[in-house]
Structure 1
Amino acid sequence: MPLPMDPLQMVHSGPRKKRPRQMGTSMVSPPHDIKFQDLVLYILEKKMGTTRRAFLMELARRKGFRVENELSDSITHIVAENNSGSEVLEWLQVQNIKASSQLELLDVSWLIESMGAGKPVEMTGKHQLVRRDYSASPNPELQKTPPLAVKKISQYACQRRTTLNNCNHIFTDAFEVLAENYEFRENEVFCLAFMRAASVLKSLPFTIISMKDTEGIPCLGDKVKCVIEEIIEDGESSEVKAVLNDERYQSFKLFTSVFGVGLKTSEKWFRMGFRTLSKIKSDKTLKFTPMQKAGFLYYEDLVSCVTRAEAEAVGVLVKEAVWAFLPDAFVTMTGGFRRGKKIGHDVDFLITSPGSTDEDEEQLLPKVINLWERKLHHQRVDSGKCSQQDGKTWKAIRVDLVMCPYERRAFALLGWTGSRQFERDLRRYATHERKMMLDNHALYDKTKKIFLKAESEEEIFAHLGLDYLEPWERNA
């Protein structure tokens, strides 16, 4: 399936080839709707270069900004790259243009952030090349802002706030395809490399539009940067294109979409020459596990997305069943839905009870499943022939139920909320930076040789010396 292409992130497409150098900046381009009438931008070519300037002009126009080819009195914002405020003012003097109090001199970071947001963002000190008050004097003393401070980006997802607002889909989608392909080939090193790269780009508040934008960003190795550069130049990655067309990748992607089928089974089926699910299901020599049988039986339901409304409806059924046996139990939806996602592929629930015994915890899930099986049996008996005539009126959804002791609920809640990469980095951080061991059950301090207690997720973050991140900030 082809990767989605956002016009903000892609101008060129097609096969990689050497392009002729553009002469001049007055390029003819199709008209774009202007959304922000009060802003008139001029992008300075000085220190930027002709090609990058033309590239940024086209991107900005596609996002609804009015960008002029030539300098005039109507310009309200001048955008520059690698220029100080005094350098831009000197350039304006050479052009015989007076810098009025209404003219904003801005670093290109403002334009990049604005394009990523789809609207002009607030101009702050980090964006403004000069701070000035022209009303005070005809020859004001111009105060330059400090050099643009590049905030250090952590290599750990647990030190980055990652919302669902991903400004770099065109790159992260590509990385996830490559990571999945390496996972299918059991190459853990490259799989993790691309997963970490995707994770860090998801946390960025701006869109990467040049290789210069990648400077200082961790987890971007040479192999990753090659993919980024090709996407910037061509709008797509030839490596991703090859993977999506690869028979082995397509087969593994299809086989693992069946509930209960992992890499070993996929490898076995691929080596046996299978390429379609219909051939696998009809083969009499194959034996399937109970999970795989369910996976084939309800395949269309299980591969379709679960909506938040469906997840909440399942939550009502889960709570009703759990409270029939443990009336004081807490039932919390975890996973992607707790992180703010609107759709998912399954629903996870954490169950804990302050008054439960070890025996209660061991017996709860079998009791709940038995209750549902009895209800399902009665429904089938009651419906009789009508169900056969009317067809299936329900949807199969994968539900994960997790029971944990009440005193360990904070660790279980943190572990089951995700995302997967966030949890990996959180544990990696605990091990390498704090000399601690963290899992879904406990936090152990190897230096003090004690288990650290926690009543909430906030306390676990505090033990690790981390700023607390809300669940919706953990979409790494």
Structure 2
Amino acid sequence: MHCHPLSLCYPLRFCDAVMSLVPLKRRRRSEPVPGGTTSPAGTFPGVCVFLVERRMGRARRAFLTALAQGKGFSVTPEYSDAVTHVVSEQNSGSEVLMWIERQSSRPVEHGGAQGGPQFLDITWFTESMSVGRPVGVEPRHCLGVEEFPAACNKAPETLPYACQRRTPLHHHNQEITDALHVLAKAASFEGSEVRSLGFIRAASVLKSLPFRLRSAEEARGLPWCGGHCRTVIQEILEDEACREVEMVKISDQYRSMELLTGIFGVGVRTAERWYREGVRSLRDLQSIERKLTAEQRAGLRHYTDLQQPVTREEAVRAELLVKDALQRFLPEVQVTMTGGFRRGKQQGHDVDFLITHPDEGALTGLLKKAVDWLESKEPTSALLGGCPMNPPPFHYMGMLLYHQIKERSHGRRTASITMDGHETCFSIVALPNGDTERTGLDALSPEPVSPHGAGPEALASWRAVRVDLVVAAYSEYSYALLGWTGSKHFERELRRFSSHKKKMSLSSHRLYDTEQCCSLPATCEEEIFAHLGLQYLTPSDRNA
């Protein structure tokens, strides 16, 4: 994959002048892995042992733990940042690292890294127990620390499709993937979707690696990580920053396009047209406000709130609200939170809910009824449906600030069609907010929006949150659940794999075998993976 060098995009003198102003960011260390509480401080300060249960077994681990604690050792039941000695039996260093990361879902420093715990064989533990104190760590005790990166870095085993790889939420190469995503976004802003997708694919591969790259040479042979991407990898590993990326981030076009595409209802093409017309800030849009769609006006009005991440606690509140509204008309309706929150994220840019019921006829008109009810009723704390949570002193939790319902597509879906035809409601909902100040871009509205004309007290008690509601027929629920869980790139790769490798067409409605000319039913996600001959990946492993 190739892209235009910066010298073709900016005058040389400008590049030289700006380059001198671009600071080189320092590489961040991995965040410590939060774990459980350790045992009381032992006789040996600075020594905290973690026994790996893999191949050791729970009973033997419990026996060894009691033995060590009886001799004054501090032993923690869960891996945490306090651990200094990781002790394993009949495992290699790479196996121990991957096992711990799978249990904690966090990147872990290994024994060869500065500040990380030592990965040790059981022999160190038994020798320490025999003398009643921690013995010195010798090379024979270590689990191949020097060979650890080589043991993990097996480029031929890195499969080309993201749906074939486990991609956890937290990974080891954050600095590199962040840089590649900036370049992907910049390429998209320039209209080069091919280059953008290339950077995204490279970042996805690096997210799946069970180790941190130490050199660009380790990336040799990895899918999608050659050419330009490898140059970026090398520069970040050597200089702790990529000057091309820093240049892109301070460019006028990138900053303006990022701002404009951040508006709810504004895509790249619209933002590009506005940029050509001289729009550089949100206030510049006031002059063309009459030309904005209702969706864009709502996005502009609530820009400040919508730019703030939605927390998991807020997502749960939204779930209570959605369930209460729907259950008033269909008590046994099934509501499932999907998207990033189902994949394990603690924050997101919106909240997605999938709605279904075994009686598919009962779903007809349900979404409109719930939306109409939310609009016609003055929401109160009762919308929490008797939840034991203490409701905040706010009585407008269910107000819809904006909504648009897309009806279900009833047209005949051919094998080649993969578009989502489910009935969907895209909305902006007012949720309780502890902040007492509403400033910034919300002031663009001459009269600040408040549910039912609420006064300043109510205005200070809510924030706007994006909520998407999707109604799926019960027979299509498993496919809809898979499609709406994401991530976006994982779903794109899953459909690409289905088409290129299996001659099948996958959508959020069905899996169609183009050779057998039939749809393949599935009652759960595991069956869909089985139809495709893929190992099942849990939602937490789909963060591609």
Q: TM-score, normalized by length of structure 2?
A: 0.62
1:106 maps to what in 2? 144
Give the distance between the partners of 2:267 and 2:379, measured in 1 at CA: 30
For the pair 1:6 / 2:32, whether they are aligned, the reply is no
1:401 maps to what in 2? 469
2:113 maps to what in 1? 60
| Inter-CA distance 107–394: structure 2 relative to 1 (3 Å threshold) | closer
CA apart distance, 1:323:
1.2
CA apart distance, 1:215:
2.7
For the pair 1:328 / 2:332, whether they are aligned, the reply is yes
| Inter-CA distance 374–109: structure 2 relative to 1 (3 Å threshold) | farther
CA-to-aligned-CA distance 1:110-136 (integer Å, 9 cap, x gap)? 2x49xxxxxxxxxxxx59xxxxxxxxx
Work out which of the residue numbers 289, 292, 315 in structure 1 matches 2:293.
289
1:225 maps to what in 2? 230
Give the distance between the partners of 1:34 and 1:158, measured in 2 at CA: 35
Give the distance between the partners of 1:327 and 1:338, measured in 2 at CA: 23
1:254 maps to what in 2? 259
CA apart distance, 1:108:
3.2
| Inter-CA distance 172–363: structure 2 relative to 1 (3 Å threshold) | same
1:452 maps to what in 2? 520
For the pair 1:263 / 2:265, whether they are aligned, the reply is no
1:44 maps to what in 2? none
2:171 maps to what in 1? 166
Secondary structure of 1:396 counterpart: strand
CA apart distance, 1:61:
3.1
Tell whether the 8 Å contact from 2:187 to 2:193 is kept in structure 1 after alignment: yes
1:366 maps to what in 2? 368
Give the distance between the partners of 2:243 and 2:256, measured in 1 at CA: 20
Give the distance between the partners of 2:289 and 2:338, measured in 1 at CA: 40
Tell whether the 8 Å contact from 1:168 to 1:207 is kept in structure 2 after alignment: yes
2:132 maps to what in 1? none
Matched letter for residue 327 of structure 1: P
Give the distance between the partners of 2:289 and 2:348, measured in 1 at CA: 34
| RMSD of Structure 2 on Structure 1 (CA) | 3.3
Matched letter for residue 157 of structure 1: A
Q: TM-score, normalized by length of structure 1?
A: 0.71
What does 1:309-348 align with in structure 2 at a 5 Å threshold?
309-348=313-352
Give the distance between the partners of 1:296 and 1:445, measured in 2 at CA: 44
What does 1:134-149 align with in structure 2 at a 5 Å threshold?
none
Give the distance between the partners of 1:243 and 1:371, measured in 2 at CA: 47
CA-to-aligned-CA distance 1:326-368 (integer Å, 9 cap, x gap)? 22211100000000100001000000111131xx434122212
Secondary structure of 1:220 counterpart: coil
Tell whether the 8 Å contact from 1:77 to 1:106 is kept in structure 2 after alignment: no
Tell whether the 8 Å contact from 1:174 to 1:237 is kept in structure 2 after alignment: yes
Secondary structure of 2:353 counterpart: strand
Matched letter for residue 372 of structure 2: N
Tell whether the 8 Å contact from 2:155 to 2:219 is kept in structure 1 after alignment: no
| Inter-CA distance 394–199: structure 2 relative to 1 (3 Å threshold) | same
Q: Report sequence identity in percent.
A: 43
| Inter-CA distance 415–3: structure 2 relative to 1 (3 Å threshold) | farther
Secondary structure of 1:351 counterpart: strand
For the pair 1:461 / 2:463, whether they are aligned, the reply is no
Tell whether the 8 Å contact from 1:259 to 1:291 is kept in structure 2 after alignment: yes
State the aligned residue count. 371
CA apart distance, 1:185:
1.3
Give the distance between the partners of 2:185 and 2:261, measured in 1 at CA: 11
Secondary structure of 2:512 counterpart: strand
| Inter-CA distance 443–383: structure 2 relative to 1 (3 Å threshold) | closer
Give the distance between the partners of 1:253 and 1:467, measured in 2 at CA: 37
1:179 maps to what in 2? 184
What does 1:183-198 align with in structure 2 at a 5 Å threshold?
183-198=188-203
Matched letter for residue 223 of structure 1: H
Secondary structure of 1:401 counterpart: strand
CA apart distance, 1:385:
8.2
CA apart distance, 1:433:
0.9
CA apart distance, 1:410:
0.4
Matched letter for residue 367 of structure 2: L
Tell whether the 8 Å contact from 1:158 to 1:422 is kept in structure 2 after alignment: yes
| Inter-CA distance 233–415: structure 2 relative to 1 (3 Å threshold) | same
Give the distance between the partners of 1:310 and 1:250, measured in 2 at CA: 29
| Inter-CA distance 150–169: structure 2 relative to 1 (3 Å threshold) | closer
Give the distance between the partners of 2:114 and 2:252, measured in 1 at CA: 40
2:282 maps to what in 1? 277
